[in-house]
Structure 1
Amino acid sequence: MKNFDALLSLQTWLVLLIVIATGCQQPGSGTVVPDEFFETLVFEPLGQGFSAQVPDTVEAVFLDEDSWNEFAERLNPIGTLRDPDFEQMMVIVAVVPANSGGYGIAFDSVDLIDGEIVATYTISRPGLDCVTISALTQPFQAISVPRSEDRVTFQRKSVRESCSV
């Protein structure tokens, strides 16, 4: 009986230590950003499309009208691209080549985190049940955000979209 009580006491301490050790960790990446270092930036879509003349994936920032206009000539938007006010705004764009139709790009958020701008976008891929065109495509989206000299990084997510009803 004495050995059983000692074993039970040891197990209780082990469980308590495990609970304390794991209870202090944050879920996810383990990085917690205090609110004073985090700000969600408002962004405005300028245009998007499925065709561009770029050789590879592009994640870019444009701070002036001339460089943006030169790059925008290589994009084939649905409709027309809106003109940003470069005195107050900058342009962020993502272009990702795909091997078939059915792909799309959409920016989800733009956040200022500890002095760095993080632009997060999602690539939607056609599901296995989708019928798509067999052609190379280059889906893209361009957005404007408040002008900043902070470094911009990109985070890409990918989701598979089903075509079933």
Structure 2
Amino acid sequence: MSRIGKKPVPVPAGITATVDGQKVTAKGPKGELFFVANDEISVALEDNAVVVQPRSATKDARSKWGMSRTMVENIFKGVKDGFERKLEINGVGYRASLQGKNLQLALGFSHDVVYETPAGITIAVPKPTEIIVSGINKQQVGQVAAEIREYRGPEPYKGKGVKYAEERIVRKEGKKK
């Protein structure tokens, strides 16, 4: 029995939720999102809460049960508050700036890297060494942050590169003489 899946997802104040078959739609102050549940999962709106249940006791249905409930909770949180991911840049001469909607990164290459911001995502650069990626879709925010980090991931010797703000770099000892 899924400990996460058996809890109903309460619909927060200020959000309109509708369930149409397998599709859960949420409208809020930040926008509108939907999630289509797998056919092995049943979704229902009861007492201002979304209840997610497996249709059968198979291992496949039970494994999708908790994930489906979490996805519904994430769309509610996204349309109400949104999601954000902070990135930090470490290294001499490494910096970020915004050119219109595009992110321009100086990461030690012979040229600057220009990252085009996808629709539904906003990127802010409060300091040249800090990037904030925000949006209503948790998966898309994480994907954009991962793509930016991928240009120059943190290296273990000096810690140079782009890293998540909460990430801890395990440092290695360098060569000895």
TM-score interval for Structure 1 and Structure 2 normalised by the shorter chain: under 0.3
TM-score w.r.t. the length of structure 2 is 0.23
Higher relative contact order (Cα pairs below 8 Å, separated by 6+ residues): 1
Bigger radius of gyration: 1
